[in-house]
Structure 1
Amino acid sequence: MFWGKIRKRALLPLFLVTTVLLTGCGQREEEQHSPELLLGFSQLGTESAWRSGNTSDIEKKAAESGVSLMLEIANRKQEDQIAAIRRFIAYQVDVIAFSPIVEEGWDNVLLEAKEAGIPVILVDRDISTKSEGLISCHIGADFYNEGVMAGEYLIRKANSLQMDEVHIVEITGTEDSTPMRQRQAGFMDTISSDPRMQVIESVNGDFLKSRGAECMRYLMEKYGDDIDVVFSHNDEMTLGALPEIENAGAVPGKDIIIISIDGGQEAIDVLKEGKINCVVECTPMLGQELMDTAKKLKNGEEVEKVIHPNELFFSDEQDLSDLAPRGY
């Protein structure tokens, strides 16, 4: 009996040491496999190949970078994005990122994020705010320059065709969104110095293929042969518009100059067929910049306030036979 008590007392320290060692190993293993960063990302929707490509790239780069991603799709509703951001705050993520559907109306929820000490990154689109310090960084295309490139192409094309007058219809993106405003401004500023250029009407296509078709049907019925150019703010609307032009008896790319923005695979294929004349690139591949920037913010490092990817344009002026697959 006495020996049994001694043996139990001798075994107790050994048990405690073993437990501590095992717990320590478990903690180290957990630390090795725990994500470097928890990122909450609100994507505005799934309205286009561009948007789907953007989401896929962010998911892929998060996995490759050891980032745990909380992804919410807002179905093109600002109230859903605001609710998602509030959930990210409640969950105490390290960094919040979102692609805003419109520019206004974000101050209250972003002030909540600031008070919680969570940095916020804008992806793709920008916002309008009078408050300071709500946004740490904006990662996305230079939409104004995209409009400029579209306008510069049109001037070259009009020169090559020796056009005396150029009647333009514009199918814009979502009203009050950053790409809509800035693409329009860049285009208008560029063509304004050319007296041949006249925008006869701008209509809102909301970045949707179905709306692009509706807008083009209306424009063809109203203006018909008077239309020389269609400037469309994204590929989805352009692809919706083309059949309506053909249904009206015109040949897109020949009778009417077609200028689009995004640079997705389907639009590039149609460009090669000759039904689109120019596609300005707006790359959705922003995932790596987002992951790198989020990590810097978590570590307290300074980041650039605006990060633009390098972007190109593709047109009937070029040999596109060796162009690599677009990936979106």
Structure 2
Amino acid sequence: MTSFRTLAVLSLAAVLAAAGCAKGESTASGPEPAAGDGRQVASTPSAAGPACTLEKFGGQPFDLTKDMVGFSQSEKEANPFRIAETKSIKDEARKLGVGNLRVTNAQSQFSKQISDVQQLIAQGAKLLVIAPLNSDGWEPVLAQAKQKKIPIVTIDRKINAEPCTDFLTFIGSDFYEQGRRAADQMIAALGGKGEVAILLGAPGNNVTTDRTKGFKDRVAEKAPGIRITFEQTGEFTREKGQQVTEQLIQSRPGTNGIYAENDEMALGAVTALKGAGKSPGDVKMVSIDGTRAAVQAIVDGWLHAVVESNPRFGPLAFETARKFAGGQEIPANVVISDREYTKENAQSSLGQAY
């Protein structure tokens, strides 16, 4: 059996080369990641913060083929993003021969996620991969992990703490940039004029905050003729997205565009628009994620564009852990490159959506 120390010498460059690109060639704002199989590609870090090493962190080398790895999922796997995310972690662990992967699911309850991770620590995890439900409130977990020198890799949402001190690193998209790119699509769809509603994501995490700010900043910068006249949380769920859009149709019937901060809310909005007798394209809609159903909605004319948020974290998360255990430097943020789906490429790209 290959030891983890042997695996650790494999660099991220090898993964990127296998994906068909040299290290650092893709950028966070590029429209298409280089990996044709849908795996994540790390963009060139710009201001990623101080690098971390095993020596700086004060941790102990670990062997993925023997030691326990814990993965904490935040939400129930009814959302395609969460399904794909968990599957990617499990698939990569199986591929690498991870001997003891334990997976928990907080079912969208933050107190349960804290308890889940504390149990993983108590059970002897040597590495933790966490998809946080909230950005704040992690102090009890971070203190326990720090005491035992357990590296924590956070994925898809950040926690408000100090990298390389409280946790190892964050891997995920540039959510502010996603908001800006969604705004560019909305500006193009409306010709720079109109009333736009925002279906906000769940409160309490950096994804919602950054996607909102990025969108608003870009609209203010490029399209003063667009007015944001409605904002309400749809909590990242299809049901709430439908309910909020039904309210929107009643309260703001002149709305020209809807920015949904994830695909599930956008698909709920489509249901509401259909129920109100709207036709495809009557209300221009832009969303973020890249689920297959949302990309199909572009083909069908209900969505104008989708900015991808790639959930396939397994290869990059484990490769980052392997680099760390091998003594290599890990940036504070590993930012990934996300594509865009539009009417020009939606049909041909359906197979790459999740």
Shorter-chain TM-score category? 0.7 to 0.9
- For the Cα contact (< 8 Å) 1:148–1:189, is it kept in 2? yes
Which of 180, 184, 190 aligns to 1:158? It is 190
- For the Cα contact (< 8 Å) 1:36–1:66, is it kept in 2? no
Work out the CA distance in 2 between the residues paired with 1:34 and 1:114: 19
- For the Cα contact (< 8 Å) 1:172–1:203, is it kept in 2? yes
State yes or no: 1:175 paired with 2:207: no
1:100 matched residue in structure 2: 132
1:53 matched residue in structure 2: 84
- For the Cα contact (< 8 Å) 1:95–1:298, is it kept in 2? no
1:16 matched residue in structure 2: none
**1:114-263 paired onto structure 2 within 5 Å:** 114-129=146-161, 133-159=165-191, 165-193=193-221, 194-224=223-253, 226-252=254-280, 254-263=281-290
Higher relative contact order (CA 8 A, sep 6+): 2
2:97 matched residue in structure 1: 66
Which of 256, 264, 271 aligns to 2:291? It is 264
Work out the CA distance in 2 between the residues paired with 1:144 and 1:66: 36
Work out the CA distance in 1 between the residues paired with 2:346 and 2:65: 42
Shift of 1:295: 2.3
- Cα–Cα, structure 1 residues 152 and 245, in superposed 2: closer, same or farther, change >3 Å? same
- For the Cα contact (< 8 Å) 2:190–2:284, is it kept in 1? no
Shift of 1:107: 1.5
Structure with bigger helix share is 1
The alignment partner of 1:192 has SS state of: helix
- Amino acid in structure 1 at the alignment position of 2:83: S
Q: Which region of structure 1 is more displaced relative to structure 2, 112-121 or 296-305?
A: 296-305
Work out the CA distance in 2 between the residues paired with 1:158 and 1:93: 51
- For the Cα contact (< 8 Å) 1:169–1:227, is it kept in 2? yes
- For the Cα contact (< 8 Å) 2:285–2:305, is it kept in 1? yes
Shift of 1:38: 2.4
User: CA RMSD, aligned part only?
Assistant: 2.0
- For the Cα contact (< 8 Å) 1:234–1:261, is it kept in 2? yes
- What TM-score, normalized to structure 1? 0.84
Instruction: After superposition, give the CA deviation of every residue in 1:42-83 in whole Å (9 maximum; x if it has no partner).
Output: 000124111111111111011001223110011011111111
Whichever of the two has the greater Rg, that structure is 1
Shift of 1:301: 3.6
Which of 331, 343, 353 aligns to 1:304? It is 331
- Cα–Cα, structure 1 residues 199 and 213, in superposed 2: closer, same or farther, change >3 Å? same
Work out the CA distance in 2 between the residues paired with 1:131 and 1:51: 24
Shift of 1:247: 1.6
Gaps of 5+ in 1: 1-27
Give 4+ residue runs of structure 1 displaced > 6 Å after superposition: none
Work out the CA distance in 2 between the residues paired with 1:53 and 1:100: 16
- What TM-score, normalized to structure 2? 0.78
Aligned residues: 290
1:326 matched residue in structure 2: 352
- For the Cα contact (< 8 Å) 1:37–1:295, is it kept in 2? no
